[in-house]
Amino acid sequence: MTQLENEQLQRFIAAALAEDIGDGDHTSLSTIPAHAVGEAQLIIKEPGILAGVEEALAVFHQVDNTLWIATFKSDGNAVDVGDVVLTVKGNVHGILAAERLALNIMQRMSGIATATRRIVAAIDGTATKVLDTRKTTPLLRFLEKKAVVIGGGVNHRFGLYDMMLIKDNHVDYAGGITNAITRANEYRKHMDKPIDIEVEVRDLGEIEEVLATGGVERIMLDNFTPEVLREAVALINGRLVTEASGGITIDNIRDYAAAGVDYISIGALTHSVKGLDMSLKAKVVG
């Protein structure tokens, strides 16, 4: 984790803790002595791919840096029911204050990593890679995209700032593909950080227009059937990086990969996954 990423995580944790704790965890304050010491285990309750361990540790340490934590599983590990990911010992108030945020992060990230791993496994043996999208939870994109990578996927652009993706609305507002590409290239000439241009197309005719216009690095083939996608890939013939999107699921993704496309983007990796079930349980001695 870079210094910038660490600072982003710390800011996120601080805001999330403020949202959750407010002016105090009154349940713990009223029922448990302030200096009580205890131990808890983070236990997996369904099979999946683990993600978010680093972030969970950061939560515990930001809440109470005296907590002692032992980890037994790492990001990317396959986990099963009953597996213990970590044990945390120390002040009970600190453990309970960190519990929900640590679990929320790990459940969400592990759910994404698990879904991604299943999708990636479905096209094993092909050259196609699985991409995420910008269909992420606001302010959680950095965690959700990390989870995609842990699951074996590849990050697409992080935002509107690191790639120009000319989509159908841009094309329509600009007055056509050629106008949009021409303007994007004029804009790019004057940028301090030149970035790639990708264009979304809806049919074979639009592909031909993109190829005739030139000036882009990637083409997104949106809502093509596997059969038409195969024609599209042959037409492009390696001149541009190809990406398929729209209506692609675990049940049909192999048909799309077989068409020879470089990437397949799936918004469902981040916008509609189920969190992996896990819990933090007090370990009572004696």
Length reported for the chain: 286
Nearest to 197 by CA among 181, 212, 209, 221: 181
Q: Which of 55, 99, 198, 222 is catalytic?
A: 222
Residue 189: active-site member: no
Q: Whole-angstrom Cα distance, residue 45 to residue 279?
A: 7
* Residue entry with tokens 């680093």: 54
Residue 157: active-site member: no
Residue 200: active-site member: yes
Q: Which of 45, 73, 89, 100 is catalytic?
A: 100
Half-sphere exposure of 256 (CA within 13 A, CB side): 28
Q: Which of 135, 183, 202, 254 is catalytic?
A: 135
The tokens of 51 are what?
Answer: 């993600």
Residue 135: active-site member: yes
Amino acid residing at 157: R
The tokens of 237 are what?
Answer: 């013939």
DSSP state of 154: B
Q: Which of 75, 132, 144, 200 is catalytic?
A: 200
Check the CA dihedral 1-113-269-106 and report its sign.
Answer: negative
Q: Are 51 and 110 in contact (CB under 8 A)?
A: yes
Residues catalogued as catalytic: 100, 135, 167, 200, 222
